[in-house]
A and B are shown apart, each in its own frame.
Chain A
Amino acid sequence: MAAATPIGCGRGAAVSCIGAGVRIVTCTSVYHPRVTAPVLELRAIAKRYEGNPVLKGVSLTAAAGEIHALVGENGAGKSTLMNILFGMPVIRETGGYEGEILLDGKPARFDSPQQAMAAGLGMVHQEFMLLPGFAVAENIKLNREPTRRGLLSRVAGRKLETLDRARMGADTRAALDRVGLSIDEWALVAGLPVGHLQFVEIAREVDRSRARVVIFDEPTAVLTESEAREMLRVMRDLARGGLAILFITHRLDEIFEVASRITVLRDGEVVATLDPARTSAVHVAELMVGRPAKVAAAHVVQTHGADAPAPVLSVRDLAVAMPGERVDGVTLELRRGEILGIGGLAGQGKTGIANGIMGLYPATGSVAVEGRPLPLGDPRAAIRAGLAFVSEDRRGVGLLLDESIELNMVLTALEVQGRFLRKFPISGLRLANRKAVRAHAQAMIRRLDVRCTGPAQQVRRLSGGNQQKVCLARAMTQEPRILLVSEPTRGIDVGAKARVLEVLTELHLAGVSLIITSSELVELRSICDRIAIVHAGRIAAVLPPDAPDAAFGLAMAGEQDLAS
């Protein structure tokens, strides 16, 4: 696939997609990428973080004049790849990388962002690398300012040369014009609207005389629709001007507007390199998320009487302000004793639902547990109502890394439910019952098969999978009626994965109702009774696990009509 030259499709060309229906996908017709040797080539890039392979031999190329889209879920390895390419120190500090980077056919190695930039690489970051107190021109010229030699500098060195503000202004004006931004080059960045900032970043890259390759890292994430369209236009112009562009995103509609090639990254590997004219958003969505579900067919679990019972948790018009995972109005019900799965692409909002129900982020709407309304934004109330949560961010939210396994396991139950405490009139001053804690921890360690040296071991020392088991144990210790689990098997080894899924099934059989949020569609289809797919902050579809693959793909790509 990679060798084929993408052909620009004619404007208004119709592309049929898998499944029913025909969808018009427009590509820009004016765009004809030249057939040239690639400017940038990555060969078999591999990287491990502490023994865990994060990139497993990624190869791709970027040619001048083309926009090459790189898509993948969070955790697929995109950020690591960019860190390697850009010479970020964290790569060196954690053992370097394998594989080769070739610039114009010659091997190159970048040990710092400055080296990468000097060689012609530019990056428009996700987080703006701008100084708010500086003017636009000062930002664009940061550390590359044109200077004038003066008296003192002849004595004391280059650093004391005065800045040539006239030339700074002129160069900046030219760069801004190239990008189509009409703001004053001496305006302070702090006063600019957010939409302009991205363009200032681009202008900075473009100003570099030797810029050959520009990497755009999720550039439209914080832009409005019209700003995003402007951004894409700028991208096309820059490509036409001869730059090679790597466009990292997971917004599928944008890719199909500008990209001439798509590479899908999953779990550190290149899954496919596609010609946008010969594929569809649905196909790309499927590739991003998992292997086609044929493999999982054997694991479809029998639903046991999940059609009659009353809802144990009902959510109405839930909107959650979780950065990056906004929820815009979700209505669903969890029936007693069922396992409900929530799936969808990253950034579409699936993670926000459980977080919003548990009160970790500001939310509006209504949630009721067993018919009783649950106050939102109050984690304590949620816990007291019988909900327990295993967060997707296990190191950030889920654990006290420097504390013992046993403390981590009993903490929520101890603090909120007042368990594992000895008697004392003042409840706040009740001593922790060490023996009970230890006994409970040992029982949990046995049940979950946590590989450790003992209940007193520091949680930091455990592997990812075992840490996840500790998080699960803490939720189980609360003896919840409803368990919300986010990304239960993300980034953990196969053995731990299996055990975690087993335990979840055991809980289910014991009568606990579960909501599992996961990016692994295969996993959801293997143990859930129903699966809700989230797109753009709303439920796109609620499907049984044995629904056709296409249905899942369509829902995730947002091609499905909104099912309420």
Chain B
Amino acid sequence: MSGPADPVTGGAGEDAGGARGGAPGGPPAPPADASPPPGPVSRVRALARAAGVPRLVIGFFLIVLFAIAVATRMDVPGLLTDSLARIARNGLLVLALLPAIRGGLGLNFGLPLGIVCGLTGCVVSLNAGMKGWAGLGAAALIGLLLSIPVGWGYGAILNRTRGQEMMVGTYLGFAAVSGMSIFWLLAPFHNPQLVWALGGIGLRTTLSLSGAYDKLLDRFLAFEIAGISVPTGTLLLFAGFCALTALFFRTRWGITIAAARANPRFARAAGISYTATRTQAAILSTALGALGIVVFAQSYGFVQLYTAPLYMAFPAVACLLIGGATVSNATVLHVIVGTVLFQSILTVALPVTSQVVQGDISETARLVIQNGMILYALTRREKR
């Protein structure tokens, strides 16, 4: 319907002549002259600006809450133990969002798709009565294997729905969780420890992992320091995956995926298919999600089925955004910082505030912080 595209200036205005309605691109600033080294005050200010308002605000609140805890002689080591446990528990799920953002899929609200793959892995391994490392490994492996075709299909759908990935992912995730709920009710699992006592068909809502692989990773190489229990195994796993992910984006494959997102036309000129890289990103994200929920379950001690995974993407997304990521860019550092900040504040808020306020304000606070953060990221006018 439109007239001939401007081939020389690419339709979007060059230095000579702007196209109708479109301003030419960013400022071709002259090379920076050498400026005097920044003084301490301006350096702090620059750091603050780089940190971003959300991180500062939440960091501030965290410090305030801890200060109150210390002042009211609460069990601070206990709080720190719980915080560490929650950080380790959620870390991998937050990391799972990274390939999706870097691959150009935006915030992966379809994380529940990967989560149900992992849950299926857990259920199968439990049903077979597997315990210990074998059970954990089997759960992870099955989840991983399932996540590949699921991620591939997810990527295929996202490729046909460009521009609406977040919405489509959200509702795909919801539909998948509620579809799986029917599956859990009807599935051919018969291990008496897993199914309802009456009738013998249909999995229970929550399956206990005690005796199987409850806290297996958490307790691996665990140690205590100053009264704080450190879930070493899980933390090591999280750190390991963080390192692997950071390294991945410096490999040929990772660079290709990121470049394709940055400029699909550029990628096309180098023979790279943006569709293929997006699908690969979807598979990676779904696979990490499957692993993430297995790690989560072993740390939590329970496998939560039915409607539990419905809203699990949102806290993970909030963690990432709080860490400083945006809808189009995220790094491993954002994952780590965000998970630490958000999970800590959630852990600490309830005990500290329950001294003053009755009722679970931490749950409400979580809703507000989490969704406020996501909304802020969605409505930001990003600098181009």
Give the interface of A toward B (CB within 8 A).
49-50, 52, 54, 73-80, 82-83, 88, 90, 93-94, 125-128, 194, 197, 217-218, 221-222, 267-268, 322-325, 346-347, 351-352, 358-360, 378-381, 383, 389, 391-403, 407, 411-412, 414-416, 418, 421, 427-432, 434, 451-453, 460-464, 467, 487, 490-492, 519
Instruction: Give the interface segment out of B19-27, B146-154, B155-163, B293-301.
Output: B19-27
Contacting pair B252 A397 (CB below 8 A): no
Q: Which residues of B contact A391 (CB under 8 A)?
A: 269
Contacting pair B8 A490 (CB below 8 A): yes
* Bound: A335/B20 CA distance, A: 41
Q: Other CB < 8 Å A-B pairs besides A379-B269, A428-B252, 10 of them?
A: A88-B20, A94-B23, A128-B1, A393-B9, A411-B259, A415-B256, A431-B247, A432-B250, A434-B250, A490-B9
Contacting pair A128 B2 (CB below 8 A): yes
Given A221-B4, A351-B8, verify A415-B252 contact (CB < 8 Å).
yes
Chain B contact-residue range equals: 35 or more
What's the nearest-Cβ distance from chain B to residue A496, in Å?
A: 11
* Bound: A453/B30 CA distance, A: 10
Contacting pair B252 A80 (CB below 8 A): no
B32 at the interface (CB under 8 A from A): yes
Contacting pair B7 A392 (CB below 8 A): yes
Which one of A90, A125, A358, A398 lies within 8 Å of B22 (CB-CB)?
A: A90
* Bound: A487/B268 CA distance, A: 20
Contacting pair B29 A461 (CB below 8 A): yes
B356 at the interface (CB under 8 A from A): no
Q: Is the interface of B mostly helix, strand, loop or mixed?
A: loop
B206 at the interface (CB under 8 A from A): no
Q: Which residues of A contact B13 (CB under 8 A)?
A: 49
Q: Which residues of B contact A394 (CB under 8 A)?
A: 10
The 30 sampled A-B contact pairs (Cβ below 8 Å) are A49-B23, A50-B27, A50-B28, A52-B16, A54-B18, A74-B9, A74-B17, A76-B17, A79-B20, A80-B17, A94-B23, A126-B4, A128-B1, A324-B7, A352-B7, A359-B271, A379-B270, A389-B269, A392-B8, A395-B10, A395-B25, A398-B266, A400-B266, A418-B252, A429-B252, A432-B251, A460-B26, A461-B26, A464-B15, A491-B14
Contacting pair A324 B5 (CB below 8 A): yes
Q: Which residues of B contact A77 (CB under 8 A)?
A: 16-17
Q: Which residue of B lies closest to A467 (CB)?
A: B28
Q: Which residue of B lies closest to A123 (CB)?
A: B20
Q: Which residues of A contact B250 (CB under 8 A)?
A: 431-432, 434
Which one of A325, A407, A411, A416 lies within 8 Å of B7 (CB-CB)?
A: A325
Q: Which residue of B lies closest to A218 (CB)?
A: B3
* Bound: A453/B31 CA distance, A: 6
Given A221-B4, A400-B263, A402-B262, verify A83-B11 contact (CB < 8 Å).
no
* Bound: A80/B16 CA distance, A: 9
Q: Which residues of A contact B265 (CB under 8 A)?
A: 393, 396-397
Which one of B11, B15, B24 lies within 8 Å of A492 (CB-CB)?
A: B15
Contacting pair A400 B10 (CB below 8 A): no
* Bound: A157/B54 CA distance, A: 43
B255 at the interface (CB under 8 A from A): yes
* Bound: A197/B1 CA distance, A: 9
Contacting pair A347 B266 (CB below 8 A): no
Which one of B8, B26, B251 lies within 8 Å of A74 (CB-CB)?
A: B8
Which one of A79, A432, A452, A463 lies within 8 Å of B19 (CB-CB)?
A: A79
Q: Which residues of B contact A78 (CB under 8 A)?
A: 17
* Bound: A19/B11 CA distance, A: 36
What's the nearest-Cβ distance from chain A to residue B330, in Å?
A: 14
